[in-house]
Amino acid sequence: MKKRIRDFGVEIGTMERGVRNAISDVPGVLVGHVTLSDGAVQTGVTAVVPHPGNLFREKVAAAVHVINGFGKSVGTVQLEELGTLETPILLTNTLSVGTVSEALVRYMLEQTPEIGLTTGTVNPVVCECNDGWLNDIRGLHVREEHVRAALENVRADVEEGAVGAGRGMSCYGLKGGIGTASRIMEIGGQNYTLGALVLSNFGRQDDLQVGGRAVGREIREQMESAAERERGSIIMILATDLPLSDRQLKRVAVRAGVGLARTGSYIGHGSGDVVLAFSTATRIPHESLEPILTLPYLQDHFLDPAFRAGAECVEEAILNSMVAAEPVTGRDGNHRGSLREYL
């Protein structure tokens, strides 16, 4: 079965893809899902782990860019201020952010006994989209055990579509969810990787573009459905092994908006569009006896390949999230079909 946008003859961008064409092409990055699918319950949890070590003790440089702030994410204020990521990134539905955040804190406390005793507290990072069209979001069905299972079952083979946090998501009036892609960057005679993972839940169907082709209105006419307003959200996670500072990561994160726009979004009032970016190139110690840290980072005038990679990866990841997702019927019989039915 065709499950990725390239399977339909659609080529996004010009850069070379990674082996898996996934965020896990960045060495050390792993992804785990727990999917809840039972009648009106269509939701889940997705975990993105930057490296297999202890993230609190060995942080990574990170940045956040808020394109439109209609969202309820946790942990982004400290991430913006300090420029480091110290927990896995978890994705879920809007009303489960509190439960997932507490579960992530408990997980980190078990991994790191000194938190809250001989050192400071921990900054859990949890992002969300509203899956209430397909999911009984008021039922608060995500539990701590689901978070733990997602964290304990991360792997390099990234599942896409209606899985994990993406189970109940909608995109351009069709089924959305989890999508991923990667690009290889040749800089200074060395190859580096940038990968994206998205949780897609946004868009007005008339606006959908696939590889530059405006197909949204055609699809709506085939579905014989009324035009909908722009609403929903998207979380875009960028990972790279390129040595970048948090300032440079923010610059790369801004370019995710290019990929988002290329699929047709104009970033409407009710859409929460958030980008998180991190680099695995250097691990930053939580505590060090040395007062001065020397961290390598790229000279700015070499950043263009990363900018292009960020845009290409996000565009392709969004389309992958849609074609990989099977049709889902959920709460009150609400239904979303798959993009692959119309390509």
Torsion of CA 314, 185, 24, 141, to 10 degrees: -20
Two tokens at 267? 């970033």
Model pLDDT, residue 229: 67
What is residue 16's three-state secondary structure?
coil
Give start and end residues of each alpha helix (H) in the chain: 76-82, 97-111, 144-152, 216-223, 246-254, 256-262, 304-324
Active site residues per annotation: 233, 271, 273
Can you tell me the distance from the alpha carbon of 91 to that of 215, in angstroms, rounded to the nearest whole number?
29
Model pLDDT, residue 131: 98
281-321 pLDDT, tens digit each: 999 999 888 899 888 999 999 999 999 999 999 999 999 99
Say how many C-beta atoms besides its own lie within 10 A of residue 291's C-beta: 5
pLDDT (average), residues 110-127: 97
| Average pLDDT, rounded, for the chain | 96
The percent of residues above 70 in pLDDT, for the chain, comes to 99
Q: Which of 263, 14, 72, 36 is nearest to 166 (CA)?
A: 36
91 strand-pairing partners: 46, 127
pLDDT at 153 over 90: yes
pLDDT (average), residues 25-53: 98
Low-confidence winner among 76-85, 88-97, 174-183, 282-291 (lowest mean pLDDT) = 282-291
Q: Which of 265, 258, 261 is nearest to 229 (CA)?
A: 265
Can you tell me the distance from the alpha carbon of 252 to that of 182, in angstroms, rounded to the nearest whole number?
14
pLDDT at 170 over 90: yes
Say how many C-beta atoms besides its own lie within 10 A of residue 36's C-beta: 18
CATH of 15-284+300-326, one of 3.60.70.12, 3.40.50.80, 3.30.70.100, 1.10.150.120: 3.60.70.12
- CB-CB contact of 101 with 81 (8 Å): no
Q: pLDDT band at 226, cuts 50/70/90? A: low
pLDDT (average), residues 123-143: 98
Model pLDDT, residue 270: 87
What is residue 94's three-state secondary structure?
helix
Model pLDDT, residue 215: 96
Which residues have a Cβ under 8 Å from the Cβ of 149 and sit 6 or more positions away?
A: 32, 34, 45
pLDDT (average), residues 19-37: 98
202-223 pLDDT, tens digit each: 999 999 999 999 999 999 989 8
Going by their DSSP bridges, the two strands 125-129 and 89-93 should be labelled as: parallel
Can you tell me the distance from the alpha carbon of 273 to that of 71, in angstroms, rounded to the nearest whole number?
8
Q: pLDDT band at 224, cuts 50/70/90? A: confident
Model pLDDT, residue 227: 63
Two tokens at 178? 């989890």
What does the buried/exposed string (b/e) look like for 181-219 if buried means 16 or more CB atoms within 10 Å of the residue's CB?
bbbbbeeeeeebbbbbbbbbbbbbbbbbbbbeeebbeeb
Model pLDDT, residue 123: 98
pLDDT at 69 over 90: yes
pLDDT at 49 over 70: yes
pTM higher than 0.95 for the full model? Answer: yes
